[in-house]
Structure 1
Amino acid sequence: MWRGSADTQPSMIAERLKRWNGHLAKVGLETGSMTPWLYHELKDLGFPVICMDARRAADALKARPEKTDKADAQALAEMLASGWYSAVHVRPWKATG
């Protein structure tokens, strides 16, 4: 499990993950407004992206004693690693311009 941070740009996330590309089992995202863009861009770059239902994940996170962004990220990573999550379909993304 890798822990780190990157700006919310597919290219910057890919830069941080590239040293493990080919060895990654899953890259997890939660559902949200930017999910289609991030999901499809990272998928197109060859990353094994899984999208987790944020509402179901939030229910699991409520049971944890520590409520910080860092602790929540760790919990989401543990859920992804253990398979205890609900994968959801991500709608196609089209750039506007």
Structure 2
Amino acid sequence: MTYYAGLDVSLNETAICVVDATGRIVAEGAVPSDPDSILTWLDRRKCPIERAGLEIGGISRWLHEGLRAGGLNAICIDPRRLRALTKIMPVKTDRNDARSIAAAMRVGWYSEVHIKSKASQLLRMLLTNRKTLLDKQIDIDNAIRGTLRVFGIKFPAISVMPLSKRACGRRSRMPLSRANL
């Protein structure tokens, strides 16, 4: 017998539904959202899983990698296609979503999402973090400029030169000291 699993992943808990080739629900449950817990839960059911589907999301890439390493044929799917199936449900719960994903895995009604390599994900994370830090640096520079403007200290427009060098390299009518503040 062939079995299919649907995993509805949230940050803390993953709802799991296993169906057979006829669509009958064989097992349902919920486990912590980590690959070892999911694999252990599936192994206890003694059902050879043909395909396991999970919607792409925040921790899905990490789970996908861990489930694949554990020998499970895990597939990240596009949630937009699945939304048409779940839209008609009167009650939307994690359990029902897991059932829908399992049904989609069984009939092949899903679009697989490409998972980027670990190196690509790492590079993207570093570039995003760098951009965030640079944006925050500009925000801090602007806040300092705005605060000092109250005391009559004016800086030229923001440039590549750090604020500390611009501040130390200029003359002011009012020197900065604790007495003036």
TM-score, with normalisation over the residues of structure 2? 0.47
How many residue pairs get aligned? The number is: 96
2:92 maps to which of 67, 71, 86: 67
Structure 2: which 5+ runs fail to align?
1-18, 20-26, 123-181
> Larger relative CO (CA 8 A, sep 6+): 1 or 2?
1
2:104 maps to which of 79, 84, 94: 79
Task: Compare the two structures and name the one with the higher strand fraction.
Answer: 2
Structure 1: which 5+ runs fail to align?
none
For residue 41 of structure 2, give the secondary structure of its aligned residue in structure 1.
helix
Aligned-residue sequence identity (percent) comes to: 34
Question: Aligned runs of 1:42-61 on 2, under 5 Å?
Answer: 42-61=67-86
| Pair 1:12-2:37 in alignment | yes
Structure 1 stretches of at least 4 aligned residues deviating more than 3 Å after TM superposition: 19-22
Q: State the distance in 1 between where 2:74 and 2:64 align.
A: 6
Letter of the 2:42 partner, please give it: L
Distance 1:68 1:22, change over 3 A: closer
TM-score, with normalisation over the residues of structure 1? 0.82
Between structure 1 and structure 2, the one with the greater Rg is 2
Question: Deviation string for 1:14-47 (max 9, x for gaps)?
Answer: 1111246782101111100111100011101111
- Indicate the larger mover: 10-19 or 67-76: 67-76
